[in-house]
Amino acid sequence: MNPIQSFKPLALAAALCAAAIGAGCAGGDPVANRTEGKTPAIIGIPSDSVEKFGGQAGIDVWVDDLFYYILADNRINTIFTTHGHVQRQMALNKELENMVMGGPAHYSGASMSAAHAELGLTLTQFNAVVEDAYLACDAARTPYHVCNQLIAALAPFERVIVSR
């Protein structure tokens, strides 16, 4: 085989890489910084996701369960007890989760970058919240497949929430 040929995938990889970094810089990440609209996940979040979650009432239960697990999680709970405003965060998350899955709610809080910038969060801490999110789905008996619609909708926020 021609050695030049075998390097083609690498060259393509490098080009894609540069494109990805470029896209990330331009406009300061429009998806992860937005405060309105459904998350434009690839393949698409089904339009009945909010309904499958049990509507706003079901999302409210899920957020209550989420904060129960977060405050019981010794890996991250002190961040919330020292820097958080849990009542406000719960109310805002109830709006946000509805919004990102394509529901009608209006989110009235700060952008995810603004809300978390000062906290210096790590990916390890972010993943702890992801695990608590799945536990909250289990607690609310939200099927795994439905839970993944919310995960798809929240995942891009990682880019601005994790700053270390």
Q: Which of the listed partners (another protein, ligand HEM, none) does 15 bind, with a CB threshold of 5 to 8 Å by partner kind?
A: none
Query: What is the CB-side half-sphere exposure of residue 148 using CA atoms within 13 A?
Result: 5
Q: Examine residue 115 and tell whether it contacts ligand HEM (CB under 6 A).
A: yes
CA dihedral 69, 145, 49, 38 (to 10 degrees): 80
Q: Examine residue 105 and tell whether it contacts ligand HEM (CB under 6 A).
A: no
Q: Which of the listed partners (ligand HEM, another protein, none) does 86 bind, with a CB threshold of 5 to 8 Å by partner kind?
A: none
Amino acid, single-letter form, for residue 148: N
| Part in contact with ligand HEM (CB under 6 A); list of ranges 10-18, 30-38, 124-132, 139-147 | 124-132
| Residue 151, CA distances (Å) to 43, 53, 114, 129, 134 in order | 14, 12, 21, 11, 9
Q: How far apart are CA 74 and CA 76, in angstroms?
A: 6
Nearer to another protein, 59 or 153 (CB): 153
| Structure token pair of residue 1 | 């085989």
Q: Which of the listed partners (ligand HEM, another protein, none) does 127 bind, with a CB threshold of 5 to 8 Å by partner kind?
A: another protein
Q: Which residues bind ligand HEM (CB under 6 A)?
A: 76, 79-80, 83-85, 88-89, 92-93, 96, 109-110, 115-116, 119, 121, 125-126, 129, 154, 157, 161
